Chains A and B, each alone.
Chain A
Amino acid sequence: MDESTPDILAVRAQGLMKTFKGTRGLTKRFPGQCVLRGATIEIARGSALVLQGANGAGKTTLLRILATVVIADAGSAQIDGFDVRREPARVRERIGVAFVNERSIFWRLNAFENLMLFAATRGVPPSQRRQHIEIIGDQLGLNDLMSRRISDLSTGQRQRVILARAALGDPRVLLIDEPLRGLDDVGVEQVLKFLASRLAQGSSALIAAPTVTEFRGQPFSLARLSEGMVEPATWDGRGAA
């Protein structure tokens, strides 16, 4: 596949369906949960889409499918033209992921050691890793925190480390779950600037969030995930675009 083909979308998902199987407890069986019922989204290269949805709407599941860690029951999805199910290795080379889980970083390492580890997994050449991390750290206001253990950071600081990790290796597509969670006003501003600068550099992004007020005014599109389906939306709240 020619990666420079202009009409290939950064993210394309069609009719994604996912039901998580029920579990059996000691005395009763818990029913399965249908999370996605045909979700479809398209994001052009260099664009960002904010996906709004209530808690439990399936935003994270959709992100996980695109990030190759959950397999959909039906439908298809491609990142930069590569199928998430059939070509997961190619997809992983192109995505930067930030899930809502502050335990997803190694708490007994400091921020710099965490980022060095993931710079290696992202394929950043050893000679460039330090500088690469400093540039991203600077954008997210992390450089003064680099020598501190993750366990000693605040929730908002950890969130910025997680976002910095997602940007390592300058991935073509960022898949980010609730990027503003736990951030103070300064942090929110830093992260929004950071996301805009990533778009300006040619990355694309899918951002999931339960509330979207802070994203208003940013160069992002908006969609809503409800009842397992994605519907286009506008920032003025007047329904479908």
Chain B
Amino acid sequence: MGWSRSGVIRFSYIVWEFARKDFRILRSYRLSFVTGIVAAVYGIISFRFVSNLIGGTKYIGSSTDYFRFVVIGVVVAGIMRTSTITTASNARRDQVEGTLEILATQPVPLLALGLGWAIVPLLEEIAAGLLTLAIAVPLGFAGLNPNWAWTVLILLVTGILFMSIGFIGAAAVLAIQQGATVAGIAAAGMALVSGTVFPVAVLPGWLQVVSKLSPLTYALRAARTAILDGGNTSKVAGQTLILVAIAAVMLPLCLMVLRVAFDYARARGSLSRF
């Protein structure tokens, strides 16, 4: 399938059908979305009390209060975690169930297969994130100056960026079957150093350097600017551009790693491995 107009249309149809498939499967597990939201609400309420305890802006080094800081951190980190881990775990699911091998016999680009693993969980997490923000409003998240169009764009780019990293996890699935674990370790590490629930400034110096290497740092910075300082369009645009640039580098790079792992699995005969 080439990248001609008809190729792009066919690619879109395939991704759409993969998304419909996952949506249908998701719909057959209705409770999972609800339990995810309930867990998020509990988390947000907990952070409300933590925020009361540590007192407003004292520790975060900016004009916003801790509750606002942490709610955005939880939402963006949730998108990061889902994009990274679910891509790998869905690849593993297809490998274990035997559907991966049959999908590999189809005239489908690898990118479509990768998007198929990621797109519905990513959209589900973005929806859950926006719902979480709405739930946080009566708890003290109000009175902001958000730019919602930029916010949604940033969350989408964040999802695409971390889906790319999820492709590395999927590659690990094909190579050593432990991709979800690898992706989970990477996601936890990024959440730790990037300023998710506490500012980077409280980290030791060497970890602050490491945080500059974490794409989540830039995703959090862009999301916080768009939601807390949305009127400053040039600042939001600049930070979004950095995020887009990182995604533009990561996507082809990670796709290449996935392709190499795919060929490795074909040589080992491990596309289907239980």
A contacts, CB < 8 Å to B: 18, 20-21, 61, 64, 67-71, 89, 92-93, 95, 97, 99, 101, 103-106, 108-109, 113, 116-118, 120-123, 126, 165
14 sample A-B contacts, Cβ–Cβ < 8 Å, listed by A number: A21-B268, A61-B269, A64-B101, A68-B104, A69-B271, A70-B267, A70-B269, A89-B1, A97-B105, A108-B28, A109-B21, A117-B20, A122-B107, A126-B13
Q: Mark B62-105, 1 if CB is under 8 A from A, else 0.
A: 00000000000000000000000000000000000111011111
The minimal Cβ–Cβ distance linking A95 to chain B, given in whole angstroms, is: 7
Q: Does residue B124 face the partner (Cβ distance < 8 Å to A)?
A: no
Residues of B within 8 A of A (CB): 1, 10, 13-14, 16-18, 20-21, 24-25, 28, 97-99, 101-108, 263, 266-269, 271-272
Report which residue of A93, A99, A104 has the largest number of chain B beta carbons within 10 angstroms of its beta carbon.
A104
B238 to chain A, nearest CB (A): 40
Interface pair B98/A69, CB less than 8 Å apart = no
Cβ B98 vs Cβ A121 within 8 A: no
The distance from the CB of A199 to the nearest CB of chain B, in whole angstroms, is: 21
Q: Which residues from B are CB-within-8-Å of A95?
A: 105
Q: Is the CB of B106 within 8 A of A118?
A: yes
CB-based contact A121/B266 at 8 Å: no
CB <8 Å contact, A104 and B101: yes
Residues of A within 8 A of B106 (CB): 92, 118, 121-122
| Selected contact of B263 from candidates A18, A71, A99, A106, CB within 8 Å | A71
CA distance A95 to B106 in the complex (A): 8
Expressed in whole angstroms, the minimum distance between the Cβ of B31 and any Cβ of chain A is 14
Q: Judge whether B10 and A123 touch: CB under 8 Å.
A: yes
Which B residues lie within 8 Å of A67 (CB)? 105
A165 CA to B98 CA, complexed, in Å = 15
Q: Chain A residues near B267 (CB, 8 Å)?
A: 70-71
> Which residue of A is nearest B264, CB measured?
A71
Check A99/B266 contact, CB under 8 A, given A89-B107, A121-B14. no
